Structure 1
Amino acid sequence: MKALILSGGTGSRLRPLTYTNAKQLIPVANKPILYYAIEAIKEAGIEEIGVIVGETKDEVISALGDGSEWGVSFTYIPQEAPLGLAHAVKIAEDFIGQDDFLMFLGDNLVRQGVKSFVEQFQREKPNSLILLSRVDEPQRFGVAELDGGRVIRLVEKPKNPPSDLALVGVYLFDNHIFQAVHSIQPSWRNELEITDAIQYLVDQNFRVDAHIIDGWWKDTGKPEDVLEANRMMLEQIDSRVDGYVCEHSQIIGRVVVEKGAKVIKSTLRGPLIIGSGSVVEDTYIGPFTAISENVEIKNSEIENSIVLKEVKISDIQCRIDFSLIGKGVKIQKQNNKPKAYNFVIGDNGQIDL
């Protein structure tokens, strides 16, 4: 069995971060989202992985390399434009060949992994097995209608959903899926929809089964989803202090301080993680915060946030909360007269004062 990871989307809902970052490489608990998918695939015993890449391919290839870090091999498959998930399957046909394969959307997190899902497919041998989860807003997703454990209908982002069962972004297929992707037509979005391809299998009497997960899953397509994923992953960390924490600092709860980080006269209330090379001084870091590498935070307060590399925050009197702060950002107090707010903000940024 092989795997196919989709890492070619533009991440428009995560602007402005994704103007300069692949959305799949945004860190959650200081680890790129895409790495969690690779680890889950490796845990399931799959070592040959195709990676669909788009306009951020150079960044993705630089971050992943040849796969040896995980004990897998990568084959990079360029997609000239985001033309749909079924299009990604279509262009991967030469890589997949006649093998069964697992398809994993690179911006999805499945905390329980996919090993049991793969084992079910290998044991029961349907033509396709799709992962589903009950959601509060099925209108945002592809939605499945079931008869027992069998899929009878799929609808992409329906106005009137037939159920609350959303496609999670993890699929298993045998080679009949290539017949499907070559047979369907582009949707109104001018994309080849994976829901249409799976519906083709259903209509042609191929066996499409469903696996409803009862664990935690998150599609990290929006900033609030990324922050929620960060919360869930931080809940699993074990305390570890490899950096310097001075005797005048206080650690409460599960906290990771990476090697090379310094914590001076500060309070850390976990779960949280502070990346290597970062300096936290006279500061309160609250729960569910991930501080990346080489960040400086002084005389400030922050919680429930993700702070990317090389950010500088100083002398902020109001607590920073529920924030996603991109690489190299500076947030600082100015004492100039007359008082004013000075901003340099990327497209689609948001500031709440």
Structure 2
Amino acid sequence: MKNLTKDIIKKINEIKQPIKIMHVCGSHEHTIMYNGIRSMLPSEVQIVAGPGCPVCVVPSHEIDECVALAEQGVTVTIFGDMLRVPGTEKSLADAKAEGADVRIVYGIGNAVELAKEIDNDVVFMAAGFETTAPTTANELLNNPPENFSVLSSHRLIPPALDFLVHDEVELDGLIEPGHVCTIIGTKPFEFLSEDYGIPQAVAGFNPLDILYSIYLILKQKKEDNPRIQNEYKRAVREEGNIKAQKAMDEVFRVTTAEWRGFPEIPNSIYDLKKEFDDHNARVKYDMELPDSENVPQGCICGPILRGMARPEDCKLFRGECNPLHPIGACMVSKEGTCNIAYRYSKMDD
């Protein structure tokens, strides 16, 4: 493996050129930072992190919705990473400390089982990209109990990338997320090469996957032949997981909403179709909270999520903002760029 790594780095150096490549996966950022991949690359090759953390991109008002439900006496179930994500005024951890029934579950299946066991309404906050959306769809198709409902916070990666390359960031290449592509395949990303001329590669999660994907992107750029190449063929098929896509199509409708650190991104959100209103928390509880976005003073989580800044650029990083006392959402989750940088980047002398 060591020799293979050297061979790939040699190939990268042979065709190196100024290039800015974005990835959109917290696991990719972890691999890059943990293995020091940026330090292995020539200075001309820049790798930036985009909105690849599904917890980090949930906006404040969706946290507010869950806090409001919990304070009304509803049992709110969440993934552990969601507990300390800041809302406008408080997090779910704050609500729990004040006596609200907020419970951490490993998945929506645990939340459904809980609803069968307790005499209370149970809401599951369904956060995540296309990777976790099929599990939400499957549970809703399997007739969950009447006291169970979902607050959908599922977000779609291709529309976010379209927004970024069209309006926000100059990019020369994209490393696409392996987990998402196992579900939706490679076709939904083709437009980024066809319309914008951006070289792309779907990558797995070990250092060789990342390095070889960088080489493929550099090679496409040198040959002026932008397309999407599947480096992660051991898990990703061009057509993706058809069964999972069918379930998502049955349950979800695509709509427009904002992401944390972004304005509204067209057609980037999975909400529940009308026939699932009985299990749609937003319909069932008729919530009318004002849209709001809490940006703590000095926090640059937004620019970090858009690939326009690094955690080290933030004045709060490592000081006021750290994993024990996170100020921005990017420091909360272990998939967050700031959290990963805190654990693996070198501290200032």
TM-score by length of 1: 0.29
Higher relative contact order (CA 8 A, sep 6+): 2
Q: Which structure has the greater CA radius of gyration?
A: 1
Higher helix share: 2
| Greater per-residue strand proportion | 1
